[in-house]
């Protein structure tokens, strides 16, 4: 069992009232939650990382619950993404451990969500920033929900830490007009359309 000791969490919320064009009827919301954890694999190569994903599942659920509550509940959330910044003592694969715990936690708590959870990861030092991509929760081809939210902390990750991130959105980009599949036309059966 891997010990991902939690040092701190950080929650960021954003309301977008306009984007140089017409104001939307309801401001668009984006939110991110970050968790800074100790990396039990820093400084060494571990050939089998699969079981570590199970160890991270409670963290994914806790982060998802807090972010959903901060955004006012699951009902209005229609976009998501995840990411990780691995400290210099770790490797890129330590970010891949977040795929199941981060992605499935959001899917479980958001209910009907079939689309792949967009993801990004990198190795970086303290203060590193990461653009976490987002997409529609039920259909990957909904262009109006292609976006990203920049995340990071000034004091993380230390060399032996990982910053895991979840991002959720409420609504499309303000003034989205690039066509393609519209959110109201989603069938949500295959995660694509």
Write down the pLDDT at residue 1: 74
pLDDT tens string, the chain, 193 residues long: the values are 789 999 999 999 999 998 888 888 889 999 999 999 999 999 999 999 999 999 999 999 999 999 999 999 999 999 999 999 999 999 999 999 999 999 999 999 998 788 999 999 999 999 999 999 999 999 888 998 899 999 999 999 999 999 999 999 999 988 888 888 777 777 877 777 7
Alpha carbons 157 and 30: distance in angstroms, whole number: 23
How many Cβ atoms sit within 10 Å of the Cβ of residue 128? 18
Yes or no: say if 27 and 15 are a contact pair by the CB < 8 Å rule: yes
Alpha carbons 170 and 29: distance in angstroms, whole number: 5
Write down the pLDDT at residue 93: 96
In a 10 Å sphere around its CB, with 0-12 CB exposed, 13-18 middle and 19+ buried, how is residue 160 labelled?
middle
φ and ψ at residue 166, rounded to 5 degrees: -125, 140
Q: Domains (ranges, CATH) in the chain?
A: 6-16+23-185 (3.30.1330.110)
SS3 content of the chain, % helix, strand, coil (to 5): 25, 30, 45
Write down the pLDDT at residue 113: 87
Go through the chain and tell me how many residues it has. 193
């Amino acid at each position: 069992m891997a010990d991902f000791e939690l040092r701190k969490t950080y929650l960021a919320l954003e309301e977008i009232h306009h984007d140089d064009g017409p104001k939307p009827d309801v401001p668009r919301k984006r939110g991110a939650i970050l968790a800074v954890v100790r990396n039990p694999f820093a400084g060494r190569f571990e050939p089998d990382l699969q079981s570590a994903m199970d160890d991270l599942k409670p963290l994914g659920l806790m982060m998802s619950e807090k972010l959903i509550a901060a955004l006012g509940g699951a009902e209005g959330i229609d976009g998501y993404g995840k990411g990780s910044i691995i400290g210099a003592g770790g490797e890129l694969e330590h970010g891949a451990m977040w795929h199941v715990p981060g992605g499935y936690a959001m899917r479980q708590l958001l209910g009907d969500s079939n689309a792949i959870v967009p993801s990004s990861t990198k190795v970086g030092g303290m203060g590193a920033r990461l653009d976490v991509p987002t997409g529609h929760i039920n259909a990957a081809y909904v262009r109006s929900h292609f976006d990203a939210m920049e995340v990071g902390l000034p004091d993380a990750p230390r060399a032996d830490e990982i910053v895991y991130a979840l991002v959720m959105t409420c609504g499309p980009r303000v003034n989205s007009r690039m066509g393609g599949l519209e959110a109201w036309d989603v069938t949500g059966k295959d995660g694509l359309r």
